[in-house]
Amino acid sequence: MKKVLFGTMIGALALVTVACFQLQGFLILNSLLTPGQATKVQFTLRPYSATDPDRNYQFILVGVQDTNDLFVGKATWGTNGKFGGPVTMNVSQAMAGAIATGNWCSTNGLDFGSITGIDWKAFVTPTKIRDRAAVDEHVIAQAVVKAKATAPAGQHIVMGVTGAWIDDGDDVAEPGDTFLCTGNATGVIYVEA
Question: What would the pLDDT profile of 77-131 be if each residue is shown by its tens digit?
Answer: 999 999 999 999 999 999 999 999 877 887 666 788 889 999 999 999 999 999 8
Please report the pLDDT score of residue 132 as a whole number: 87
Which CATH number is associated with domain 2-191?
A: 2.60.40.680
Alpha-carbon gap, residue 162 to 144, rounded angstroms: 16
Alpha-carbon gap, residue 166 to 19, rounded angstroms: 9
Residue 6 three-state SS:
helix
In terms of DSSP H, where are the helices of 18-159? 95-101
pLDDT: which is higher, 125 or 132: 125
Please report the pLDDT score of residue 110 as a whole number: 75
Based on its alpha-carbon atoms, the radius of gyration of the chain, rounded to whole angstroms, reads 17
Alpha-carbon gap, residue 90 to 42, rounded angstroms: 17
pLDDT band of 4, cuts 50, 70, 90: very low
Residue 114 three-state SS:
helix
Nearest of 52, 47, 48 to residue 17 by alpha carbon: 52
Judged on CB neighbours under 10 Å (0-12, 13-18, 19+), 4 is exposed
Give this prediction's pTM.
0.88
Alpha-carbon gap, residue 12 to 36, rounded angstroms: 47
Residue 75 three-state SS:
strand
Q: Are 21 and 140 in contact (CB under 8 A)?
A: no
Alpha-carbon gap, residue 174 to 161, rounded angstroms: 17
Q: Is the pLDDT of residue 15 over 60?
A: no
- The DSSP call for residue 138 is -
Q: Are 39 and 110 in contact (CB under 8 A)?
A: no
Q: Are 85 and 139 in contact (CB under 8 A)?
A: yes
Domain ranges of the chain: 2-191
Q: How far is CA 183 from the centre of its chain?
A: 8
